[in-house]
Amino acid sequence: GKSSSEYTTDVSVSKQGTSTLNNLVKSLEIRFDKMLKDDDGGNLDYELFQPRETWFPERQFTLKADVVDSAHANNASIGKWINDNSDFLFEKTPPMEQLESHRPVDTRDRTVKDKVTIKQTLEGFPIILLIQFDGEETQTMLGIYSFNLGRGAYYNMGFRFMKDFTTKIKNTAGEYVDNKLPAFVTSYHTYAQDELFGNIDQRKVYSYEFGENANIIVDGDKILPLALFMQDD
């Protein structure tokens, strides 16, 4: 199409990457834009999606077309291996240390603690991507992609924190019942920016991209233990 982004009221899809935009096969960024409503019809916050039990729900994900690694044996697969073995490889990050004593619960059943994890790095899993282009009646298979946590994975990387969330939905009797994953989150509450997550002051949590001058480190003695360093590409 003529635009790199397409929007509906519920989701937006845009081409992802910089150098990879020259490739015939495009990586995609998906963002969920549906606004959740309270019982009175007021706006709550944007709908989130949880594809896996150990993933925090997020609003934004990357559909990666690894044209130089079509088997997906590297990249996000290595990230998952690192996360699965991080207890043996690395020290826990400060958000990881605080998670066990501040684990989010199910909004509809607060006795249930969610099994989500804060991760050392981004990860993903292979999918077959089908897409129905505007004006067409049938779906087109784009091939094997990787469904990845992307740069908007704030909860999974420990940059924002959740108090509770749920994927439960109402049945015909009006009772809340489990909704198997993958599923959209129907309600959630997060820590405000000025609230402490354990001993972590969220106002002192930063990310820094090499080669990017937009987020200068100005509080050097306090930022490093809580900083995310990533390649600027």
Which pLDDT belongs to residue 112? 94
Report the number of secondary-structure helices (H) and strands (E) in the chain: 4, 20
Top-confidence range, 6-10, 177-181, 226-230: 177-181
Mean pLDDT value across residues 37-51: 87
Give dist(CA 187, CA 190) in Å, integer: 10
Which residue reads 């908007």 in tokens?
A: 152
Domain ranges of the chain: 5-195
pTM score, two decimals? Answer: 0.81
